[in-house]
Structure 1
Amino acid sequence: MLRILIDQRTLRIIICVFFILKMITVSGRKGIGDYQQEWGHVSVRPHVHMFWWLFFTTANVTNYTERPLIIWLQGGPGMPSSGYGNFLEIGPLDLNLKIREHTWLNNFNLLFIDNPADVGFSYFTSPESNKRLAKSVDDIGRDLVSFIRKFLNLFEQFRTVPLYIFGESYGGKMAVEFAYQLYKKIENGTITANFRGIGLGGAYISPIDYTKQYAQILYNFGIVDRKSFDKLVKIQRKIENSIIKKNYHYAIKLEANLVSAIDEITRGIDYYNFDRECNATSLPNVLRFENVTNSFMNNVIKESLNISENITWKYINADVYEALYNDIMKPVTTRVEELLNQSDVKIIVYNGVFDFIVNVAGTAEWLKNLSWIGREEWNNATNQLLQVNFTNEGYFKRVRNLVFYSVLRAGHSVPIDNPAAMEEILKNELLKDVEFT
């Protein structure tokens, strides 16, 4: 047996390096396109490895630290931001690797996280993987806080950079819980970060308020008649009662029944943008890219980033969705209230007016009912016009650290449908004190 004598100082260095490598693995900066980027995995729990992909801003600045860092969380639940948010919405390139004119990278640093665990290029190293799946947004929040702590240990320069968390659809629910847990860690001194705000885009914050608007929206637009309206309202009231009684498992089953009834009555509408062309056999636009994106991520991107062949990227992970099944219909409005009452974290809410599944009326309703110090002021405030280049792009209301934008010519994904309005929102809310170039 070979004995090696090592002094204590050297041994401590070796141990430190070992644990750092175990927690965080980082790849190089070649990746895709001519962009400065980093990517890798963080072990947020034993056997749970979360994938991240960081792009440094291309803004005309001396140093990328002069611009905020935006974390992007996808919805589903079970959709990976590394593919959807990145290549279909706000990243520097599209699925054809062509430059996206309205990429958020023009003005911000972007960090895509494949979250929750086992989504996208995130993975488990355990024979009991299903037992490690997140069962609630609380679980998801803890994993994301674990992630950001280790990420900021790797990129210490981002500790002082303004940090914003953006979540779309169910990703908005995740963003709210992540924000609350992160705020608490910063407050008690266990994490150092310049956390400024959250962006909630078509965010499924209060399911009870969204589902009870469905029949009324369809009736107001002449899509259903009064008889069909009454039929849908009966199901909606059952969903409302189930949520009030906190029977979330039954509520999500009823929600599936409601969607089926709407499909049958309308003969097909696009829930994510009901202004879009569709018919009874067409897929919603959000699902039309599934096959091409799966192929692209599992071939082009996996090879470019040197991702293990054992990891399969999926457009949506059904196992993750099933694990969160009992959590889907739970509201997170209480967390929003806590952030508003306890912190100065900015909450930026935005919705496309043609979003059916997470509709403007539902968002306005839960915002109206929030119990917070600015409630009376909020409910007495009037909308202001959002105008870009002399064109009306929407309306907004602002009170203290809460702002709500309703965006014209947009559905569930405002960055795709109305990028001009989205850029103006980001300019107003994130770059107000930064020179915009």
Structure 2
Amino acid sequence: MASSSSPFLSLLLLIPLFFFFFNSANAKRSSSDGSEEWGYVQVRPKAHMFYWLYKSPNRVDNGSTPWPTVLWLQGGPGSSGVGLGNFVEVGPLDTNLKPRISTWLQKADLLFVDNPVGTGYSFVEDQNAFVKTDEEAAIDLTTLLKALYKSDERLQRSPLFVVAESYGGKYAVTLGLSIVKAIKARELKLKFGGVALGDSWISPEDFVLSWAPLLRDVSRMEIVGAEKANSLAEQIKQQIANGQYEEATAAWSNLENIITKYSNSVDFYNFLLDSDQDPVSTTTLSMTMGTSMNRYARYLSSKADSSNGDIDQLMNGVIKQKLKIIPKNVSWGGQSDLVFSALSHDFMKPRIAEVDQLLSLGVNVTIYNGQVDLICATKGTEAWVQKLKWPGLQNFNKIERKPIACEGVVGTKGFVKSYKNLHFYWVLGAGHFVPVDNPCVALKMLSRITQSPASAS
């Protein structure tokens, strides 16, 4: 936990001291005390990716258990890890620039990126430079990692864990395979700890098929609406099987409209709520591809707004002034809709095979899901896990879950089970954004995943 004297409170100062390095491809700055580093890496011509690295004040240098680094990947596609993951979910400060009690810096160094290019502060100079596939996004991220790790011995000694949320899970598994390949080719000097997939959009088919049955189970829909939703979900399943991914994306948008209509506007990120209880959830039936991504970003923004911190004003105001490196013509999140549109062909494409490949390569794969999430419902996650061809799945299924408790809090807060390199966490009371809704279990999970030498929370 960051104290009131935390170096990260330098964010409050508009004129801190910086060290500055710049060339035609990359620009980098750091705080005067070295606790933060941020900058741009030109991952391709006319494509610039922004990153922000925080070095934990809780770091323990233990030869037998090295201090970990977590790379956080936001979803959307087109939502900003540097803004949302950082200031709304797990970074050292909240949107009021106050210390976050549950910051993940307690357990690891944190690396936030605005991925793919065009997200957050990242930008392209030509719209042809937007990525069109998850694999292209992974290549860009690998290029970023190569630039950061090339001459940084501290990073090289620190095992890297890729933790993703929502659509970020698709980036995580494609990046994981790219990292393994680059390490094997000796192009990347990095200790790869594994991937963690939080409420991740790994198999769109299984999620859309789960929506109506789940909502009927919790009395949020009845037979008329459920039949309409199930019929369209089956159509989406067939479109995915036929490789008609853009058509499936359009049908997915229509399906969300049906769910909204027949559930009286259920909150897609917490099915116990109405969207007007979280006013940035589904509030209209006339959705387009980009508005779902906007809903995702606005939902997290509402978490910030509830504590009187406006994330958009923050990122385009005091934070942009602090960083002193963002081009004047670049606004935070200004190209996000275009990012979503560019990925419309890949949006509904499953990535179960990539999870299988990671498991077969011996890479640690953690899956975690919030109990009351709808859009990436646990019911759907459990369904795609059962499609894995990994030989250890049968034994994984036979293992009993272990309960998770939080000190000073009555009741069970989650469950976990593991077999070899596959781990699954059920996080009770949490919706789509687990670190926000159940920070205690999220921290416990992070500590176990990374084997952080920091004392348990």
**TM-score w.r.t. length of structure 1:** 0.89
CA distance in 1, matches of 2:57, 2:436: 20
Task: Give the share of equivalent positions with the same residue, in percent.
Answer: 33
The answer to whether 1:418 aligns with 2:415 is: no
Q: Gaps (5+ residues) in structure 1?
A: 1-18
Matches within 5 A, 1:8-407: 21-29=23-31, 36-59=35-58, 61=60, 66-124=66-124, 126=125, 129-276=126-273, 278-279=275-276, 282-284=279-281, 286=296, 287-288=298-299, 289=301, 292-306=310-324, 307-314=326-333, 317-342=336-361, 344-389=362-407, 391-407=411-427
Shift in Å at residue 376 of structure 1?
1.8
Retained in 2: the 8 A contact 1:267–1:280? no
Shift in Å at residue 61 of structure 1?
3.0
CA distance in 2, matches of 1:140, 1:281: 31
1:44-65 deviation line (CA, Å, top 9, x unaligned): 1112111000100121535999
Shift in Å at residue 23 of structure 1?
3.6
Amino acid at match of 1:422: A
| Distance of aligned partners of 1:246 and 1:358 in 2 relative to their CA distance in 1, 3 Å threshold | same
Aligned-partner SS, 1:326: coil
Amino acid at match of 2:440: A
Aligned-partner SS, 1:197: strand
Q: Gaps (5+ residues) in structure 2?
A: 1-20, 282-294
| Distance of aligned partners of 1:316 and 1:210 in 2 relative to their CA distance in 1, 3 Å threshold | farther
Shift in Å at residue 155 of structure 1?
2.2
CA distance in 2, matches of 1:318, 1:405: 32
Aligned-partner SS, 1:370: coil
Shift in Å at residue 396 of structure 1?
1.7
Retained in 1: the 8 A contact 2:267–2:273? yes
CA distance in 2, matches of 1:201, 1:327: 19
Q: Which position in structure 1 is the counterpart of 2:285? A: none
| Distance of aligned partners of 1:57 and 1:315 in 2 relative to their CA distance in 1, 3 Å threshold | farther
Shift in Å at residue 156 of structure 1?
2.9
CA distance in 2, matches of 1:369, 1:425: 24
CA distance in 1, matches of 2:114, 2:152: 18
Aligned-partner SS, 2:430: coil
CA distance in 2, matches of 1:165, 1:392: 27
CA distance in 2, matches of 1:409, 1:281: 16
Retained in 1: the 8 A contact 2:60–2:454? no
Retained in 2: the 8 A contact 1:80–1:315? no
CA distance in 2, matches of 1:315, 1:87: 18
| Distance of aligned partners of 1:62 and 1:184 in 2 relative to their CA distance in 1, 3 Å threshold | closer
Aligned-partner SS, 1:274: strand
Retained in 2: the 8 A contact 1:72–1:167? yes
Shift in Å at residue 109 of structure 1?
0.2
1:338-381 deviation line (CA, Å, top 9, x unaligned): 11112x22111100010000000111111111001212212322
Shift in Å at residue 436 of structure 1?
4.4
CA distance in 1, matches of 2:436, 2:247: 34
1:362-404 deviation line (CA, Å, top 9, x unaligned): 1111111100121221232232212222631111221110101
The answer to whether 1:429 aligns with 2:431 is: no
The worse-fitting range, judged by mean Cα deviation, of 288-297 and 76-85 is 288-297
Retained in 1: the 8 A contact 2:118–2:335? no
Aligned-partner SS, 1:52: strand
Retained in 1: the 8 A contact 2:156–2:191? yes
Q: Which position in structure 2 is the counterpart of 1:9? A: none
Q: Which is greater in Rg?
A: 1
Retained in 2: the 8 A contact 1:232–1:261? yes
* Larger RCO, structures 1/2 (Cα 8 Å, 6+ apart): 2
Retained in 2: the 8 A contact 1:80–1:316? no
Shift in Å at residue 35 of structure 1?
8.1
Aligned-partner SS, 1:27: strand
| Distance of aligned partners of 1:436 and 1:318 in 2 relative to their CA distance in 1, 3 Å threshold | same
| Distance of aligned partners of 1:432 and 1:50 in 2 relative to their CA distance in 1, 3 Å threshold | closer
CA distance in 1, matches of 2:426, 2:390: 21
Aligned-partner SS, 1:275: strand
CA distance in 2, matches of 1:93, 1:345: 31
| Distance of aligned partners of 1:201 and 1:181 in 2 relative to their CA distance in 1, 3 Å threshold | same
Shift in Å at residue 276 of structure 1?
3.2
Aligned-partner SS, 2:317: helix
| Distance of aligned partners of 1:257 and 1:278 in 2 relative to their CA distance in 1, 3 Å threshold | closer
Q: 4+ residue stretches of structure 1 with deviation over 6 A?
A: none
Q: Which position in structure 2 is the counterpart of 1:16? A: none
Shift in Å at residue 28 of structure 1?
2.6
| Distance of aligned partners of 1:189 and 1:406 in 2 relative to their CA distance in 1, 3 Å threshold | same
The worse-fitting range, judged by mean Cα deviation, of 422-431 and 68-77 is 422-431
**TM-score w.r.t. length of structure 2:** 0.86
Shift in Å at residue 24 of structure 1?
2.8
Q: Which position in structure 2 is the counterpart of 1:6? A: none
The worse-fitting range, judged by mean Cα deviation, of 290-299 and 317-326 is 290-299
Retained in 2: the 8 A contact 1:368–1:378? no
